[in-house]
């Protein structure tokens, strides 16, 4: 087949069970599937849906990989979530979790993987998605709206006090 195309997978990460350990562990594990080109700051935000649980720590990473979007979802994300003992609660999709990884954006593609739409429509609704994504690639043009990630994140900046940057949590060792 020839050389494989290198894809840009923009991944959203969240955790509220030992998140200071699980977020960096997830980033380290993702390196088995490509190269981590960019990492955002870590942001603390209140839980959505089931509010009777610990706050979440959220971040975004840009993974360059030869895997397709489906392979990232089925191979990389499932592997990392299993490695970090992610438990899914069918009765409460917003339950506490060791790690949650979603493909927020993939190249400039518009697609669907299982029940998830890419680009993730919640980028326009959730500061904890928009702001970390804008940190890793502010000029990225959303394929459906032609807005930059920075423009999308600007809509949340005035309400950014709902999130707090956690400078004490590092996603990669070399960022010390």
Residues recognised as catalytic: 86, 97, 100, 102
Pairing of strands 163-165, 7-15: unpaired
Rounded Cα distance between 16 and 96, Å, is 6
Residues 6 or more apart whose Cβ sits within 8 Å of residue 55: 16, 44, 45, 46, 47
Rounded Cα distance between 147 and 28, Å, is 31
Rounded Cα distance between 154 and 106, Å, is 21
User: What is the number of alpha carbons within 13 Å of residue 48 lying toward its C-beta?
Assistant: 15
């Amino acid at each position: 087949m020839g050389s494989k195309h290198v894809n840009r997978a923009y991944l959203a990460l969240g955790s509220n069970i030992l998140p200071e350990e699980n977020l960096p562990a997830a980033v380290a594990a993702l390196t088995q599937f490509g190269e981590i080109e960019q990492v955002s700051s870590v942001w603390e935000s209140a839980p959505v849906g089931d509010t009777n649980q610990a706050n979440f720590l959220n971040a975004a990473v840009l993974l360059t990989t030869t895997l397709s979007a489906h392979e990232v979802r089925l191979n990389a994300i499932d592997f990392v979530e299993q490695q970090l003992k992610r438990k899914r609660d069918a009765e409460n999709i917003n339950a506490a979790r060791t790690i949650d990884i979603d493909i927020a954006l993939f190249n400039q593609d518009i697609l669907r993987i299982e029940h998830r739409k890419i680009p993730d429509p919640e980028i326009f609704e959730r500061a904890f998605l928009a702001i970390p994504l804008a940190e890793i690639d502010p000029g990225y043009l959303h394929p459906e709206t032609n807005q930059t990630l920075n423009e999308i994140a600007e809509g949340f900046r005035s309400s950014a006090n709902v999130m707090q940057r956690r400078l004490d949590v590092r996603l990669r060792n070399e960022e010390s």
